[in-house]
């Protein structure tokens, strides 16, 4: 049996891997404005294409392709149930970062999308498996807190990428941004040996593995409800967060100083959100915390795209706070709803649901923005599915305090 100290070291290693995955995945979002200006063709007028460099459909379509590439995260994540959590988690982070670095050589916008898409499913699977490993090495009393720490690591990675992006302003700076993925890649190599294998043996626990990609008999309906909730949330959050730098830099013309300050301040609001979300998840339950978080994301999106520089800053900070708030409960909930024998597979299906919601949200946002010439209308449209998510949440059980059988967390005294 591992000691509490050893498990704490294991958690620290998983945080580093989550940070690396966040850094690699957020590159496309952070650099999108510069990529659009570098590969776009200047035209006159006041359309989205004239102001941003590429049309809303091209921007949204490109981001949607990146999201759709994450569908490959399902089989990659599900392999964690077959080959082991540790082996797959470390391998996917390393390969994903290496492929993301290759995007620095992109000769055009669509080549950039294609190359970046190669590493996307690997990093998506790694992020999902990091949550699974964390849940399985944690006891019920500290599971939400541990998941909040790992979520913070992922958020710090994304924030560092955005901060590096703001410092590297320039036509070719996105290329340097992707090359900086070499730093987290080296960090992962350094801590890989401390990443644990949290499953103690399904046979010993009397569990049987379902067929690849499937859940246990009778759990299909529950899986569909959870995936529906993820679709609704992702549809709103992905569109709101993915266009923020294009909107801020190319539409309302945020200065470099304001954007950098906004990113730095977001670290504090994200931390506040995580702390509050963890308290609500452990005190009130997983479902109330998720309900408050997804409602906050929808309202924040409408504030962000309401048309002023001040609204961009306030809306962005509120979205980061809401995303942080939902993280502890949102990551604990699916891990607690399903058994150890399929937990990595469920995480993979979560990637699929997130991709579907994100793709629909990104394309819808771009189409509405082009049709109405206004980002605020697009933000309102993509915020409406949150209502369906709130309804689905009422049909699922509360899971606070559940022990995950067959894992290190369940055997830790």
* Domains (range + CATH), the chain: 4-198+210-399 (1.20.1250.20)
Rounded to 5°, the CA angle 209-214-218 comes to 90
Q: What is the pLDDT of residues 256-277, one digit of tens each?
A: 777 778 878 887 898 899 999 9
Q: What are phi and psi of 199, to 5 degrees?
A: -85, 125
Query: Which one of 57-66, 201-210, 350-359 scores highest in mean pLDDT?
Result: 350-359
Q: What is the pLDDT of residues 135-189, one digit of tens each?
A: 998 888 889 999 989 988 888 888 788 778 777 766 667 788 888 899 999 999 9
Confidence of residue 2 (pLDDT cuts 50, 70, 90): very low
Task: Calculate mean pLDDT across residues 62-90.
Answer: 86
What burial class does residue 203 get, using C-beta atoms within 10 Å of its C-beta: 0-12 exposed, 13-18 middle, 19+ buried?
Answer: exposed
Give the pLDDT band (50/70/90) at residue 207: low
Q: What pLDDT score was predicted for residue 211?
A: 59
Q: pLDDT digit string (tens) for 165-176?
A: 777 766 667 788
The pLDDT of residue 226 is above 90: yes
The interaxial angle of helices 109-136 and 73-83, nearest 10 deg, is 30
Beta-bridge partners for 407: 199
**Which regions of 14-61 does DSSP assign to beta strands (E)?**
none
pLDDT exceeds cutoff 50 at 61: yes
- List Cα–Cα distances, 111 to 58, 141, 230, in angstroms: 13, 47, 29
Q: What is the mean pLDDT of the chain?
A: 82
Place of tokens 């978080």: 293
Q: Tell whether the model's pLDDT for residue 38 goes beyond 70.
A: no
Contacts of 81 (CB under 8 A, 6+ apart): 209, 341, 342, 343, 344, 345
What's the whole-number mean pLDDT along residues 122-133?
Answer: 93
The predicted structure's pLDDT at residue 44 = 42
What are the φ and ψ backbone dihedral angles of 24, each rounded to 5 degrees?
-70, -40
């Amino acid at each position: 049996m591992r000691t509490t100290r050893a498990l704490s070291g294991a958690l620290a290693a998983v945080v580093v891997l989550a940070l690396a995955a966040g850094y690699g995945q957020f590159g496309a979002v952070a650099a999108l404005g510069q990529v659009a200006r570098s590969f776009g063709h200047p035209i006159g007028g006041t359309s989205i294409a004239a102001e941003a460099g590429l049309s809303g459909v091209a921007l949204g379509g490109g981001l949607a392709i990146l999201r759709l590439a994450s569908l490959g995260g399902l089989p990659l994540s599900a392999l964690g149930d077959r080959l082991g959590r540790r082996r797959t988690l470390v391998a996917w982070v390393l390969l994903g970062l290496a492929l993301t670095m290759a995007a620095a050589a992109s000769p055009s916008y669509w080549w950039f999308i294609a190359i970046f898409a190669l590493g996307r499913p690997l990093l998506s699977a790694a992020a999902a498996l990091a949550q699974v490993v964390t849940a399985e090495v944690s006891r019920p009393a500290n599971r939400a807190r541990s998941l909040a720490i790992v979520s913070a690591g992922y958020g710090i990675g994304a924030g560092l990428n955005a901060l590096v992006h703001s410092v590297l302003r320039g036509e070719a700076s996105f290329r340097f941004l992707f090359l900086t993925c070499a730093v987290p890649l080296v960090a992962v190599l350094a801590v890989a040996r401390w990443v644990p294998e949290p499953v103690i043996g399904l046979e010993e626990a009397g569990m049987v593995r379902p067929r690849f990609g499937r859940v246990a008999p009778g759990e299909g309906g529950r899986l569909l409800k959870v995936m529906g909730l993820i679709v609704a949330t992702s549809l709103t959050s992905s569109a709101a967060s993915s266009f923020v730098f294009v909107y801020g830099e190319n539409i309302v013309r945020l200065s470099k100083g304001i954007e950098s300050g906004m990113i730095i301040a977001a670290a504090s609001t994200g931390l506040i959100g995580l702390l509050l979300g963890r308290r609500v998840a452990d005190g009130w339950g997983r479902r109330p915390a998720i309900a408050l978080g997804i409602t906050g994301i929808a309202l924040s999106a409408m504030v962000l795209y309401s048309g002023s520089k001040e609204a961009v800053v306030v809306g962005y900070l509120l979205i980061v706070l809401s995303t942080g708030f939902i993280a502890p409960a949102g990551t604990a909930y699916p891990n607690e709803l399903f058994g150890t024998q399929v937990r990595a597979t469920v995480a993979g299906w979560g990637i699929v649901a997130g991709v579907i919601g994100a793709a629909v949200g990104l394309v819808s946002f771009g189409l509405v923005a082009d049709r109405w010439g206004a980002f605020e209308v697009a933000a309102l449209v993509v915020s409406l599915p949150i209502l369906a998510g709130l309804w689905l949440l009422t049909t699922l059980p509360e899971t606070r305090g559940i022990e995950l059988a067959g894992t290190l967390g369940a055997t830790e005294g």
